[in-house]
Amino acid sequence: MTAPRVLIMGPPGAGKGTQSRTIAEAYDIEHVTTGDALRSNKQMDISDLDMEYDTPGEYMDAGELVPDEVVNAIVEKALADADGFILDGYPRNPEQADELDGMTDLDVVLSLEVGRDELIARLTGRRVDPETGENYHVEFNMPEDSEVRERLVQREDDRREAVENRLDVFEANTEPVIERYREHDGFVEIDGEQAPADVWQTIQDELDERLG
Ligand code: AP5
- Average pLDDT (123-146) is 93
pLDDT on residue 141: 86
DSSP letter assigned to residue 2: P
Q: Does the CB atom of residue 137 touch ligand 1 within 6 A?
A: yes
- Average pLDDT (134-140) is 90
- Average pLDDT (95-102) is 98
Q: Does the CB atom of residue 87 touch ligand 1 within 6 A?
A: no
DSSP letter assigned to residue 65: P
What is the rounded CA–CA span in Å between residue 57 and residue 37?
11
pLDDT on residue 26: 97
What is the rounded CA–CA span in Å between residue 102 and residue 154?
36
Which residue CA neighbors atom 50 of ligand 1 most closely? 15
- Average pLDDT (100-117) is 97
Can you list the alpha helix ranges (DSSP code H) found in 115-195? 116-124, 146-151, 160-169, 175-181
- Which atom in ligand 1 lies closest to the alpha carbon of residue 196? 53
17-72: per-residue pLDDT in tens? 999 999 999 999 999 999 999 999 999 999 999 999 999 999 999 999 999 999 99
Is pLDDT at 90 greater than 80 in this prediction? yes
Q: Which domains are present in the chain?
A: 5-29+83-125+156-211 (3.40.50.300)
Q: Which sequence positions are flagged as catalytic?
A: 16, 92, 126, 155, 166
pLDDT on residue 212: 79
Q: Does the CB atom of residue 16 touch ligand 1 within 6 A?
A: yes
Beta strands 126-128 and 135-137, pairing class: antiparallel
Q: Which residues contact 194 (CB under 8 A, 6 or more apart)?
A: 202
Q: What is the mean pLDDT of the chain?
A: 96
- Average pLDDT (158-171) is 97
pLDDT on residue 35: 94
Beta strands 30-33 and 85-88, pairing class: parallel
In the chain, DSSP assigns E strands to: 5-9, 30-33, 85-88, 108-113, 126-128, 135-137, 187-191
Is pLDDT at 188 greater than 70 in this prediction? yes
pLDDT on residue 2: 80
Give the pTM.
0.95
- Average pLDDT (76-101) is 97
What is the rounded CA–CA span in Å between residue 68 and residue 85?
21
What is the rounded CA–CA span in Å between residue 40 and residue 92?
19
Residues forming beta bridges with residue 188, ordered by sequence position: 110
